[in-house]
Structure 1
Amino acid sequence: MSIRKLKSKKYGYTYQVDVRYKDPFGVTQRHTKGGFRTKREAKNYEANIIEKSNAYMLIPQSSKKTLNDVYEEYIEVEGQIKWAPATLHYYNQTHSMYVKDDFGKVPIESVNYVSLQSHINELSQKYNYPTVKNIKKIYSVIFKHGVRAGYISTNPVPNILLSNIPEKKTYVEVISDKDLKRLIEEIINPSPNRCFAKKAQYKYRSYGIALLIGRYTGLRISEVMALKKEDFDLERNQLTIRRKVEYIGLKRKEIYLTERLKTKSSKAKVEICSILSEYLKSWFVENPYEFVICDEHGDFITPSNFQERIRDTAKKLDIKFHYHMLRHTYATELMMSGINPIIVRDLLRHSTVNTTWNVYTHPSRDDQRKALDDLYDDNIEFINDQNRIKF
């Protein structure tokens, strides 16, 4: 038994009771409840729990809360503080589409491992693996909060299994410089037959610069669209990433700049190559505005509008492309060139080098074959060598 003193942004400190006990089947269970304003309240609750546990029973007081109720409470208490707006939008959208009007109406205390696993199995018959995996994430935050709030004793989600697990990808998608050149040239030269072609020319040239920045820095699209000239030191070939455009789930007028990036390591100063510096020096002469990527009025460009234009152009040229492929391409090229993984981690602004290894550096079969051929090329004469092993 223990009582823990926890920091609270709202109250300064709160207290949590953590009780472990054996159920009638001899299986160790755990019961936690937090949010007590005083240690006395926590001790009184603990005494009550001890009394119940002596009879091998620990039944949380019925809350009559549904899964939807617990989810909404979690968002209000913790989610809005913990998650970035884009993540919050993603979770809310998943909850609304797949949980709210279905299993979300069930009281949380009536859900056990069997009922939840059966529900997940049914979902697996209707939706693909990534969708069901995302739905499971919603149930994970619901039941974790339910345990912390004392509505339930155990969390069944860690034991839930997913079916139809796809074969793990052993490579990441990249784009060749040849295809990228074709894509940029098509984008920056809009059709002269379109009435707004001259007005759009500046914006489309800006699109081309955005693609080059992604190719030679690996920045995410939301970071590229937020870049200002002041972020670059082109004489020293350096770039400081300070902010991003927050746009997911927002209307055009609601889009804004924020300094809250994906991780703490995302905000950093990195080196850039001379090739990109030369492109930007020329672009800054043409671009009189504060934002590096902007329209003819100097306003920053929303990633969604940019991606729509890129998607249509890539489809026209029969090129498989999405913007994050530039980050894949940059990272893979660095790693395959034999650059120290620690340097690659810093250039990509990953929190750990494991992310660099595990996510962005899966060689293709052609890469594996080339590596072996390069390694053993000098031994090709072994086939005719008189010292060749005789079988």
Structure 2
Amino acid sequence: MSIRKRTSKKSKNGYVYEVYFNYKTNGITNRYTKSGFKTKKEAQEHEALMLAEVKEKGKINKDSAKTLNQVYKEFLELGANEYQANTILGTKLQYERNVKAQLGDISVKNFDYALLQGYFNKRGSLGIETNKSTRKALNRLLNYAVKVGYIKNNPINLVKVIGIENKREKDQVLLDTELNILLNALESANDFNKKAYSIAIQIGKYTGLRVSEVFALEKEDINFNENCINVNRKLVYDGLKKDEIYATHQMKSKSSKAIIPLASVLKSVLTDWFKINPYDHIICDVEGKYINPKTFSIYMKKLAKKHNINFNFHMLRHTFATTLVMNDVDIKTTQELMRHSDFNTTMTLYTHISKEHKSKVINDVFGLKSVEKVAKTNNEIKTLN
């Protein structure tokens, strides 16, 4: 057995896991050991990576002087399999655009808190969401560097990301009047593709599904008899050409796969759409091919701007969640309908909206008009007495 527990005073659990095994290079037996893994799964992943390196290169390279560019290349070859396709595409995008030129030639052994925090401080004038995405990409690369033994710890865990927050697009609720304007504009175009856009928006409104999930739906996923939708795949499209786009059953999390209710109003919408759409894909172009959500987003941004409406697809998910909370749907049910894997995600959302709702209630109750009304009522009572 090549994984074992070892006692550790520094660990909260009182122990850590160690990887150890022998391997031969040019007929010479070598021994590899690395300890400090918090879980057995982490140790197993590291062991698999090291054995793969031995199989491929005949040895284990302990050269911690490797640059981040070299680690990045190695990560794509050996360490990317544990991530979803969209995650790897996002990592490539962030690295090539934002990391490579500034940090790529630096040895990973020189990466520390000061270097990384300084890097992100210089990016303070950029959008905070972009900086968060860049931090996640770096985190994956440095975690890989830890797994293969190039560095002992990942310093990015201490780094705080700053940046400009786009308040116009974050967590805003779409009003029915705004959605109706956009839907009417799409319907009046009398175009198959625009009609598909309209259907996508309505699915998002009544289900809270993510854009990649909506655009991957098939007719077989809709059960009109049981009034439910089987959410079991998502679209992989980021960085791909139209003919390369595909659907995968590898979802964001285990809870993302679920059977969700089909609202009666959406059932009516889909019933009519299926009479027009002859293809298996629910959201597709006039030739029955997948529609790239980015193409959809570009068109909708222009259309929304024309009508002075702020719109992005994720706002439909937030609107769905807000509608649930504001109608006193309990937290557990909200979590299941949103398919959040972490209860705290739902709790944060629930608490945030509830605070706003309670604040509105208090202001409505104790507003000036309410006080005047109470005073007037009291005076009328006194007069009658």
Tell me the TM-score normalized by structure 1.
Answer: 0.75
What corresponds to 1:50 in structure 2? none
2:257 is equivalent to residue 267 of structure 1:
yes
Deviation, structure 1 residue 19: 9.5
Match of 1:25 in 2: none
| Residue aligning to 1:282 | 272
How many corresponding residue pairs? 343
* Bigger mean CA deviation after superposition, 147-156 or 85-94: 147-156
C-alpha distance in 1 between matches for 2:351 and 2:248: 30
The corresponding residue for 1:98 is: 98
After TM superposition, the structure 1 = structure 2 runs for residues 106-255 of structure 1, keeping only pairs within 5 Å, are 106-124=106-124, 127-163=126-162, 172-190=171-189, 201-255=191-245
> 1:72-110: CA deviations, max 9, x gaps?
3233322x2221111111111111122222222111223
Distance 1:115 1:15 in 2: 34
Relative to structure 1, is the Cα distance of residues 19 and 151 closer, same or farther in structure 2, using a 3 angstrom cutoff?
farther
Distance 1:287 1:152, change over 3 A: closer
2:40 counterpart residue number: none
Q: Kindly tell me: are residues 244 and 118 of structure 1, through their superposed partners in 2, closer, same or farther at Cα, counting changes over 3 Å?
A: closer
Sort the Cα spacing of 1:343 and 1:77 in 2 relative to 1 into closer, same or farther, 3 A: same
What is the rounded CA distance, in whole Å, between the counterparts of 2:114 and 2:299 in structure 1? 48
Q: Distance in 2 between matches of 1:376 and 1:257?
A: 53
Q: Could you say what secondary structure the match of 1:173 adopts?
A: coil
Stretch deviating more after TM superposition (178-187 or 158-167): 158-167
Deviation per CA, 1:184-220: give whole Å up to 9, x if none.
1101212xxxxxxx6xx22222221211111111111
What's 1:88 paired with?
A: 88
Q: Distance in 1 between matches of 2:119 and 2:197?
A: 45
Residues 268 and 349 in structure 1, CA contact (< 8 A), matched pair in contact too: yes
Q: Distance between the aligned counterparts of 2:350 and 2:219, measured in 1?
A: 29
User: How far is 1:183 from its partner?
Assistant: 0.4
Matched-pair contact (CA < 8 Å) for 2:21–2:33: no
- Residues 68 and 106 of structure 2 are in contact (CA less than 8 Å); yes or no, is this contact kept in structure 1? yes
Matches of 1:292 and 1:112, distance apart in 2: 48
User: Could you say which residue in structure 2 is the equivalent of 1:370?
Assistant: 360
Change (3 A) 1:35 1:382: farther
Taking a change above 3 Å as real, the CA distance of residues 249 and 42 of structure 1, as seen in their structure-2 partners, is same
Structure 2, unaligned stretches of length 5 or more?
11-15, 24-28, 36-60, 380-385
- Identical aligned pairs, as a percentage? 33
Where 1:99 maps in the other structure, the secondary structure is: helix
Q: Deviations over 1:13-47 (max 9, x none)?
A: x547979799xxxxxxxx99857457x9668788x
Distance in 2 (alpha carbons) for counterparts of 1:205 and 1:314: 16
Read off the aligned partner of 1:76 and give its amino acid letter.
Answer: E
**Structure 2 CA distance, aligned partners of 1:185 and 1:115?**
52
Question: Where does residue 68 of structure 1 map in the other structure?
Answer: 69
In structure 2, distance between residues paired with 1:364 and 1:137: 30
Q: 1:343 to 1:161 in 2, by over 3 A?
A: closer
Q: 1:71 & 1:82 partners in 2: Cα distance?
A: 15
Post-superposition shift, 1:269? 0.5
Asked if the contact 2:208/2:317 (under 8 Å) is kept, the reply is yes
Kindly indicate whether the alpha-carbon contact (under 8 Å) linking 1:17 and 1:42 is maintained by their aligned counterparts in 2: no
Contact 1:216-1:273 within 8 A present in 2 as well: yes
Unaligned 5+ residue runs, structure 1?
Answer: 6-13, 23-30, 47-59, 191-197, 387-391
Partner residue, 1:27: none
Q: What do you get for the CA RMSD once the two structures are aligned?
A: 3.8
How does 1:375-386 map onto structure 2 within 5 Å?
383=375
Q: Residues 34 and 150 of structure 1 are in contact (CA less than 8 Å); yes or no, is this contact kept in structure 2?
A: no
